[in-house]
Amino acid sequence: MQSSIMDLDPTYGWVIWHAAFPWTKEHKPQITTLSVTLMQEPVAMSGPQFRVSAPGEHIALTHPITGKQHMMTVLEYEQMEISCEHFSNQD
């Protein structure tokens, strides 16, 4: 079965690279083994927005892939300002 780039699911993000390696010798050697490794890089996923007003509150969180529900309990609550140096984008 032959596939093309047009067969890739458009709801996913795809990156396709072409690599070329020039031969250092006059005659190219016969290729006997070739392997490819595909790795998925970590992806940031936004979670639900919620507000906390006091210790003891419970917030239900759902895992975005498995759908399993988890309960977060607020143990302490303190309002503070986070310094801009803790963010990768200073804007």
Q: Residue 7 is which amino acid?
A: D
Compute CA distances 3 → 8, 9, 11, 70, whole Å: 9, 12, 17, 40
Q: What is the pLDDT of residue 2?
A: 58
- Mean pLDDT of each 10-residue bin along the chain, 91 residues long: 69 82 80 85 82 92 90 91 78 62
Distance of alpha carbon 15 from alpha carbon 6, whole angstroms: 13
Q: What is the pLDDT of residue 76?
A: 93
Domain count, the chain: 1
Q: What is the pLDDT of residue 68?
A: 95
**Is 4 a member of any domain?**
no
Residue numbers of the domain that contains 72: 54-86
**Is 42 a member of any domain?**
no
Distance of alpha carbon 65 from alpha carbon 91, whole angstroms: 31
The model carries a pTM of 0.43
Distance of alpha carbon 51 from alpha carbon 62, whole angstroms: 16
Angle made by CA atoms 35, 40, 42, in degrees to the nearest 5 = 150
**Is 47 a member of any domain?**
no
